[in-house]
Amino acid sequence: MIFLLRPLRFITRTLTEETSPRQMAMGVALGMLVGLVLKDNLTAFLCLFILCASRVNLGLGFISTFLFSWIGHLVDPVSHFIGYKLLTAESLNSWWTWFFDHPVVPWTSLNNTVVLGSLIVGLVLLIPVYRSFIPIAQKYSPSVEKRFKKFRIVQVLWGLELGSGLGEV
């Protein structure tokens, strides 16, 4: 039973933890970056690592990752165009040759036009998404947190201990 409650407790903690609007906005922005980049490569893993290692709201980060993964398919034609232009630019040929000669770089899949383009789109949109979400978080986060904490299941999961001597989750 305890193993079933751990994920629920993690979700309630990440959704109700005391985070500032800036941490919430950065969680959404980094989640957007992770969501836009195609998965199954080192680039997506590094973006996800940055999201998890940062002091941001992980609940909003994972929710925005999920949402932007779906939106990312709509952005793929634009990402392909940007990636293609960057990979075929004559002025960047020597740099790409030097870059792709390194042993770890092929795992990043940055030679894929959609991966490179979606990374660039995500990096360009990172600051605007961050800045645009701060006022939303300032306005709605206190009321949403207050309403969410009223539910009995959230109160139980928030205060749930595994028992004496077993330690914290």
Question: Is residue 17 situated within a structural domain?
Answer: no
Residue-range definition of the domain harbouring residue 124: 27-159
How confident is the model over 29-59, as pLDDT tens digits?
A: 999 999 999 989 999 999 999 999 998 888 8
Determine the Cα–Cα distance for residues 112 and 87; give it in Å rounded to an integer.
9
Domain count, the chain: 1
| Nearest-angstrom CA–CA distance, 95 and 91 | 8
Higher pLDDT, 10 or 123: 123
Asked if the structure places residue 165 within a domain, the reply is no
What confidence score (pLDDT) does residue 53 get?
93
Q: Has residue 68 been placed in a domain?
A: yes
Question: In this structure, is residue 10 part of a structural domain?
Answer: no
Whether 14 maps to a domain, the answer reads no
Residue 59 lies in a domain: yes
Q: Provide Rg for the chain, Cα atoms.
A: 20
Cβ atoms 82, 116 nearer than 8 A = yes
pLDDT score recorded for residue 78? 96
